[in-house]
Amino acid sequence: QVRALYDFTGEPGTAELSITAGEMLTVMRDNVGDGWCEGFNQSGKSGLFPAAYVQNVDTTAPSILTLLQFFY
């Protein structure tokens, strides 16, 4: 999972995917070439977007033991 840092408007008639800052995307391939990623948005639309426009998001939840250590 990545979060878009900036808006990007894809070129019409290409495989580019328009993205909006704050939008969550799923990356299928992170090194398509020339700084592009391939993925899809939460609406299911897929395409290419600039890798420099997104940031990885840590989606792993902390374990219950990690959470409990804060109480002791």
Q: Which helix (H) or strand (E) element contains residue 68?
A: helix 64-68
Owning domain of residue 14: 2-58
Q: Tell me whether residue 70 is in a domain.
A: no
Q: Tell me whether residue 23 is in a domain.
A: yes
Residue 54's domain is classified under what CATH number? 2.30.30.40
3-state DSSP helix/strand/coil % of the chain, to nearest 5: 15, 40, 45
pLDDT tens figures, 33-57: 999 999 999 999 999 999 999 999 9
Q: Tell me whether residue 13 is in a domain.
A: yes
Q: Tell me whether residue 39 is in a domain.
A: yes
Q: Tell me whether residue 8 is in a domain.
A: yes
**Residue 65, pLDDT score:** 63
| Domains held by the chain: number | 1
pLDDT greater than 80 at residue 68: no
Reported as a pLDDT band with limits 50, 70 and 90, residue 58 is confident
pLDDT greater than 70 at residue 8: yes
- Tokens linked to 44: 């299911």
The residues that bridge with 8 in the sheet, in sequence order, are 19
Please enumerate in sequence order all residues whose Cβ is within 8 A of that of 1, keeping only pairs 6 or more positions apart, or say none: 24, 25, 26, 27, 56, 57, 59
- Tokens linked to 11: 């070129």
Judge if pTM exceeds 0.75. yes
